Amino acid sequence: MIQNLAPFDDAIIDAERKIQKYRLKLLKLLTIASIKRAKKVIFISKKAIHDMKNLGLSLKHANLIYHGKNEELFHENVDLDKKQQIGNKYNLSKFILYVSNIHRYKNFFELIKAFSLICNKIDNEIKLVLVGRCFDDGYYDEMMRFIRERKFEERVLFLGEVSYEELPFLYASCLLFVYPSTCENCPNILIEAMACGAPILSSNIEPMPEMCGNAAVYFDPMNPITMADTICRTITDKNLILTLKKISLKRAENFSWENAVKNTLRVFESAV
């Protein structure tokens, strides 16, 4: 199974520290060697297949199987009392949400820059809530310095890593779920957010459009100005938000672990 596409993105490699550069380059070589030797290869997005074909690899043995979601956790009918408890725990009322581990290619900084452009144009109670484990302290320090210099610390909340069980309540409570990442394979976070009916704004880089289809409004993740404009236009359009919520729920039905397991077993059986 091909899971990690970061080793195939030169921009990501160039931005990493020396030891991480070597790690990613080694992963790339090992992945290519594994594809060449395997009887069958499972891909979790069309984007991954496209990237491997661009390397000149023969993919007659390729199989596309999307990830699913935990249907007991991620659904629209979350417990309202628990939802309120989570809101009280993190002091959340009106907020825009982004969930991901903190790496440079996840584009947290661009989202913060975009929010800085509109935080005085939208309801001043709306906060930007960022959830995820930090893997780059230098990057985090750069963001915090930017936030302090522009004096909007009270509008941006880094919650760090929250429990998996709390995520559905955050997805279900947010005004918008914004996903500005520049490199993904099959982003489970988007699938889970859709399953909870979150209205989604997303990076226009594949595989995000492949995952969300018409359940998201797309923007250029490298342009904070267009990102800010997309957020500002959407958050004030109640009809669009309701439409996005409905389409998210419908789109999430396409992603099932039950189907993923069945299809994976078929691949195993055909490889024997």
Q: What is the DSSP string of 214-229?
A: GGEEEE-TT-HHHHHH
Q: What is the CATH number of domain 80-252?
A: 3.40.50.2000
Q: How is the chain split into domains, by residue range?
A: 6-68+256-271, 80-252
Residue 75: both structure tokens together: 């659904």
What is the reported pLDDT for 18? 84
Banded model confidence at residue 1, pLDDT cuts 50, 70, 90: confident
pLDDT-derived band at 3 (thresholds 50, 70, 90) equals confident
State the pTM of this model. Answer: 0.94
How many Cβ atoms from other residues are within 10 Å of residue 168's Cβ?
Answer: 26
Mean pLDDT on 55-66: 93
Q: How confident is the model at residue 20 (pLDDT cuts 50, 70, 90)?
A: confident
Q: What is the mean pLDDT of residues 63-92?
A: 95
pLDDT interval class at 19 (50, 70, 90): confident
Residue 70: the pLDDT is 96
Kindly report the three-state secondary structure assignment for every residue of 131-186: ECCECCHHHHHHHHHHHHHCCCHHHEEEEECCCHHHHHHHHHHCCEEEECCCCCCC
* Residue 271 in this model has a pLDDT that exceeds 90: no
3-state helix, strand, coil in the chain (%, to 5): 55, 15, 35
pLDDT digits (tens, 9 = 90+) for 170-209: 999 999 999 999 999 999 999 999 999 999 999 999 999 9
Question: Quick check: 43 and 63 in contact, CB under 8 A?
Answer: yes
Mean pLDDT of 72-99: 95
Q: What is the mean pLDDT of residues 113-124?
A: 94
Average pLDDT across the chain, whole number: 95
Residue 210 tokens read as 């492949």
What's the rounded Cα separation, in Å, for the pair 48 and 53?
A: 9
- Statement: residue 262 has pLDDT above 90: yes
User: How many Å apart are CA 77 and CA 224, to the nearest integer?
Assistant: 34
Q: Quick one: DSSP state of residue 257?
A: H
- The mean pLDDT value for 240-253 works out to 98
